[in-house]
Chains A and B, each alone.
Chain A
Amino acid sequence: MQLMKDLKIALVGNPNVGKSTVFNALTGSNQQVGNWAGKTVERKVGTVKRSDVNIELIDLPGTYSLTAYSQEEIITREYILRENPAAIMALVDASNLERNLYLVLQILELTPKVVIGLNMLDLARSSGRNIDAGKLAQWLKVPVVEIIAAKGDGLSDFLDAALVMAGTSPQAAISVNYPPAVEEKIVAMEDVLRPTVWAQRYPLRWLALKRLERDAELGKEWNSIANTNSVADATPACCDVGDAVTYELRSSTELPGEDLLQTFAASGWDHEQFEMAFADAKYSFISEIIAEFVTETPLAKPSLTDTLDRLALSPVWGYPILIAVLALVFWVSFIASAPLGDLISQGMTWLANMLVPILRLAHAPVLLQELVKNGIFAGVGAVLSFVPQMALFFVFFSLLQDSGYLARAAFLGDRFMQLMGLHGKSFFSLATSYGCNVPGIMATRTLEDPKDRLITMLLNPLIPCVPRLGVMSAVVAAFFPGSRGAVAMLSLLGISGITLVLSALFLRKSVIKTEKSSFVMELPLYHIPTLRNTLLPAWQKTYAFLRRAWTYIFAASVIIWSLSTFPLGVPLNQSFAGKLGGLLAFIGHPLGFDWRIMVAIIFGFAAKETTLSTLGILYGVTANASHTIAQVMTASMSSLNAFTFLVFYMLYIPCIATVVTTYKESGSLGWTLFGVGYNLIVSFIIAWLIFHGGLMLGWH
């Protein structure tokens, strides 16, 4: 071995393989930290002394490959090419071997002076994976050292192996064999490049591969040299290639091999085909050699996730399970919790009855007393009565999410979307709309195709959001007590679903779609939801809803009370609200709606949650303290009227925030108005069919 005094050794690896741990352990406090010239990437250099050798250890940026896609890749590649380190310490995560070996293969294309540090073997073993480091070394023809960086085990051996590598002339490392059709083209490119002086600066095979890929960095470098005028400028500082380079560069500004690339492109071999062929071959090579030195200990039995997924994702059982889960969620949230809502409603009435005498004692004006009792308490109380339902819905939503089932539901939903002619990603937007249509519409941003996006946006308001579900469940609980409530609620959701499917198919016909595509989804493991992950998001969502709704409800309650009170001394149906309802009676009449329903529908446009407060005020809930809104409404309309109202309410124009968001996201006033008109017409037609169909069937 020759005597070495100063050596440069580079530490290379994927991100998060423990490179910094190795670097810090080997260099201690002898480090210099800065940035790479002209880059924002951190540069770390340390020194290590070994007997008479002074080692400059450079921690190269973590990277997955050496293709010029990112700053990290370019820095690592350029360092290896330009600085020519005496050895490369390649750190490999044994628990993620495939991904890590891809980088190692790319390094071996640049230099054979590589030593592999096999880290995280303990993690690999715990997942049933045993790696024979000796065989790996034989296959790659480079030394492999087993290390546990976190404990400092094997680090000294790793560095020693790198020192040995630095002092020897290693045999040529293994090279990937590409398919014969590709190999032919590599050899042809090598033949073109070999006589050029430029090729002397790089490993020939690597340069040929990069030329075939039309590597952008090589092109940039060539252009920067070719555009210089003097011999000194043309010759890179790191190289002494003399006048020949200048002569060659001046003779042509075209990169060598361009004609050959054009020939290949004409036969269908563009740079992307080469890029893919090279990457594909490396992965195939890795999977072949891995079989030789990795043994997997099969797990004694399938994991819980595998077992559950066989059912949850089954084309046969998946959908019935999904429907059953959703039915349970809706039943518990919106039907079983109704008594809690009644309790709050009664509590608000009691509170109003307690407060009004106090106001009277304080000589507050009668109108103010009326506003507090029949305006604020009736309106706000009506909305508060469905807070338990909403909170429960959010608890279940968090439960499904935290358990991992929501992701499965989304996956099943994708198949359903495909059947409707929608993009699978539309599911996420539509599912989000069950919370609120505004974020649902914004979630369409993940859809690349503008037509997919537009259709999903237009379909979004057909999904009943939580405020709508809350109002619906309150009315359902009043008119369809007991198990009939669950049937009514599921029927309404069924109508919403069928309308959604038919609308999707209709819009697909009118808004022509171009192409279909799919995605690969990473499903999380199932696990038992924690209380924190369930209750905290549920509380945050409920609080967010109340905070958002409060201003609307309070303002709407005051406005509706004023409209229904003035002019003073007239009957309710002669008030401003009554007159407004009367003006719209011609729309409501075919559907069996009275003027109060029409006013509630109009005010629902401002925010859906105000509908219940409007109904509460117009039906005079607190005027009759012993009755809840349910009791007052059931005395005024039939169950058929109520069901027709619910269908219309569920499908008619979305709230103003949703309309504004649709306009902002679509950028089209025309499509926004089309959406509003479409919802109005569809809701009217379906409600009319239900009302008159019901009458014909004798449902009163």
Chain B
Amino acid sequence: MYAYDKFDRSLVDIRVAEFRDQVERRVKGDLTEEEFRPIRLMNGLYLQLHAYMLRVAVPYGTMSGDQMRRLAHIARKYDKGYGHFTTRQNIQFNWPKLSETPDILAELADVEMHAIQTSGNCIRNVTSDQFAGATADEIADPRPYAELLRQWSSFHPEFSFLPRKFKFAITGADQDRAAVKWHDIGLIVRKNDAGEIGFEVIVGGGMGRTPVIGKTIREFLPEKDFLSYQEAILRVYNEQGRRDNKYKARIKILVEAMGAEEFARQVEVEWEKIKDSHIDVPQEEVARIQAFFQPPELANQDATSAVTSEFAKKNFIFASWLQNNTNAHKVQGYVNITISLKPHGGIPGDASAEQMDLVAALSDEYSQSEIRVSHEQNLILPHVALKDLPAIWADLDEAGLGTANVGLLTDMIVCPGLDYCALANARSIPIAQAITKRFDDMKRLQDIGPIKVKMSGCINACGHHHAGHIGILGVDRKGQEMYQLLLGGSGAEDATKAAILGPGFDEHGIVDALEKVVAVYLGVREDGEEFLSTYRRIGAQVFKEAVYDAA
């Protein structure tokens, strides 16, 4: 993975000193609260319902065992012993003190981490495929390009005060695990007929109160022009994006208003002026960064492991875990493990300091000290030998991390909701807990099969409900928390917007409604047909009748 050189190190160190100075100036009254707000946000510090919240960047979801151990240490020393992994592959600490945040940032800088631009109206942490560099279905590892974006966008003099936040996602695989079409800019690594690397550029996707699926404005952007083209997009957006209404300020609104073709035309005009002007880095720099992401050297292994197969025969949960929580690696005899942070009855995405330490230790022993965070709020150990799985699972299971539900109904994306968030209208966590208790039977979950349930506690859609096969949206109805049910969304390469099924439910009714939807699916599915395919085949009406007629 990427390692800082003296330049990167100096920048984060100076940034910590700068923020320390800014906090002092705020305390002395030299900076107004209004001025301090964007400053603290661009350093990851939010003011939540009960306290400050610090969001630490895990660039493109990749970190080392040492970095994870440092996060555990921060959770213990400065927080209440846990952290929350987010849909932007970041981690949030919910209880830091303002006066201690410069110290936390210094502790992070010490292990080459930061909280730069994890919030604010600027370019945020770039997200990517959690299996990047370790998956069989990949054209190229997207992370070197994500790192180029990270550097180019950090403290950009022109683009640090945009109309609104700005999110990039990049994938190098056919299967889109990074929801690129739901981002301000989504990038897919492509190869042209000459075998050269380039990018499909998608703009104007986004969730929130106006869900929009991004549109392709360039089929193939050559690698050498990577950054100058992004700069052209950002300039058009910075100048013309709306600043009079924060709900209409995202690039998706501009692209919709202008039309994708006109937007693309303006970007091309802009790009023509700047494309050969040193905004792009020299080829040696691309090569330097790529060298950090070379595949690890893995010992030869057999394609199957008797130890693992035997254990799976004896243990149903392990067999399910093997099926659901591991996926194919590029190299024979290896897999990537997804560690579920969705224990039934627990808080989705949370991990305790002890669990973080365990994952770090396991990464040292089994996965080249490498750990990933997925936008689905789970942790990944890449490059793991098949034969090591029983031992790893036993350790995970003992620590409450052995849940075998990855990709199944209880592996939900869930925002923090009204338990933490100042924007939320309704609680998300208790609903998630009620759902996991209702669907606690692994055999039943396994029978239902792959299904993505995503829940947000308000229309800002941090829980990606628009992209859920089943989405749940918390709303406020005259002081009562209500929940709307949406069906048919997708965050993958076949991205679609979920549609609201009908009137909302109270916190008990929503769980019943979900169960009825699942029952309809189980009744009508064809052999091997997954939930989303069934929904697309039969449409909303059958579900609607089952959910509302019986009520």
Whether both chains belong to one complex is answered with no
B: residues with CB less than 8 A from A are none
A: residues with CB less than 8 A from B are none
